[in-house]
Amino acid sequence: MVSKNEISNKKLLGIAGLGWMFDAMDVGMLSFIIAALKVDWDLTVGQMGWIGSINSIGMAVGAFLFGLLADRIGRKHVFIITLLLFSLGSGASAFTTSFSIFLILRFLIGMGLGGELPVASTLVSESVPTEKRGRIVVLLESFWAFGWLIAAIISYFVIPHFGWQIALLISVIPAFYALYLRLHLPDSDRFVTIQKKERPTIIQSITAVWSKKYTRTTLMLWILWFCVVFSYYGMFLWLPSVMVMKGFSMIKSFEYVLIMTLAQLPGYFTAAWLIEKVGRKFVLVVYLIGTALSAYLFGTAGTLSLLIISGILLSFFNLGAWGALYAYTPEQYPTKIRGTGTGMATSFGRVGGILGPLLVPYLVEQNISFTIIFTIFCISVLIGAASVLFLGKETRNVELQ
């Protein structure tokens, strides 16, 4: 017999997950669109890097701004605003023929994306039972893999034959359905029980995140988020383009990245199982070390088989680590500042997402090999793993404050 509470948890996971999936579709498709725009608009490698970075600048602003708002006006309202911003911006970008206008729209889309992800994980964390919290948040993150998979399929079949504009329009239409579903979503009970007069001001929230009680936690999260986001966007936004630069055709490159993307799903599901069995710290450290080793192998791969195998491992470990990261972060702060703490950590991480996509074209123009480039990302991920190992605390089965 399925309880009413379990049905509610599944409904919440489904509605939040749909928005997460459309976010992933956009980010995943952007990596393919960058490769297509290089041909259509004759972009330089530097301009290609700016598309990814301006997206991350928007995500940094969105995570900070909407994280603060989530602690003032509620998780649900911010959840709706961010998806609306993303949907409208993504639809409009399909009609632009100007590189500069495209960048402006990517900034607005990034704000929606950056604001939605930490608020969604916060809402779900506060709405599910303690013993299932980690697993459900990782499963929420697994919708990212479905989004990337759909993005890879659309990009493979649509972009080479019908153009990137059609691909963007296809991706944005279902997002409005998710927006409709979200209107009927209840807000977090934990947030609702805090009276308006008890809610801290924006300045108080920011100050509390860096107060003595949370300094170690915040430092750990900021290092972790920066390293993970820097390496992820540096590597994954460039995967199709790296394959093209290694001499494969656009269609073949899209096909290989699609194969690598499939490995994200078992990465999430194994992390979701392990996170309640052995804890958050174990999953984060082990999966980040696996990511680092896979990144090094991908950068040094000299054959097609090694390239695909290392790419599969990279997807498996990296996205499993992402799932644990989103489960772990909201658990570090009390309800009054949970949105702010999660949003600020995410926002700082997005600075890494700005630098990562810019670093790759800069090093390529300096004739730096992919071996060295991916070694840099390998070291970054290892630093993130070390921050969790030495500064982090285990939160498995710990009741939210």
Could you tell me if 164 and 37 are in contact, meaning their C-beta atoms sit under 8 angstroms apart? yes
Structure-token pair, residue 9: 């948890």
Residue 250: predicted pLDDT: 63
* pTM: predicted TM-score of the whole model, two decimal places: 0.80
* Cα–Cα distance, 360 to 45 (Å, whole number): 9
Query: 186-190 long-range contacts, Cβ below 8 Å, gap at least 24?
Result: 186/76, 187/74, 187/75, 187/76, 187/77, 187/123, 188/74, 188/75, 188/76, 188/122, 188/123, 188/126, 188/127, 189/126, 189/127, 190/126, 190/127, 190/335, 190/400
* Cα–Cα distance, 69 to 67 (Å, whole number): 5
* Cα–Cα distance, 141 to 298 (Å, whole number): 24
Count other C-beta atoms under 10 Å from residue 98's C-beta: 10
Q: What is the CATH number of domain 4-183+210-391?
A: 1.20.1250.20
Could you tell me if 320 and 273 are in contact, meaning their C-beta atoms sit under 8 angstroms apart? no
DSSP secondary structure, 78-99, as one string = HHHHHHHHHHHHHHHHTT---H
Tens digit of each residue's pLDDT (9 = 90 or more) over 327-348: 899 889 998 888 889 889 999 9
Residue 397: predicted pLDDT: 67
Tens digit of each residue's pLDDT (9 = 90 or more) over 265-316: 898 889 988 998 899 899 999 999 999 999 999 888 877 788 889 989 999 9
Q: Enumerate residue ranges in the chain where pLDDT < 50.
A: 1-7
Residue 173: predicted pLDDT: 75
Burial class of residue 68 (count of CB atoms within 10 Å of its CB; 0-12, 13-18, 19+): buried
Domain ranges of the chain: 4-183+210-391
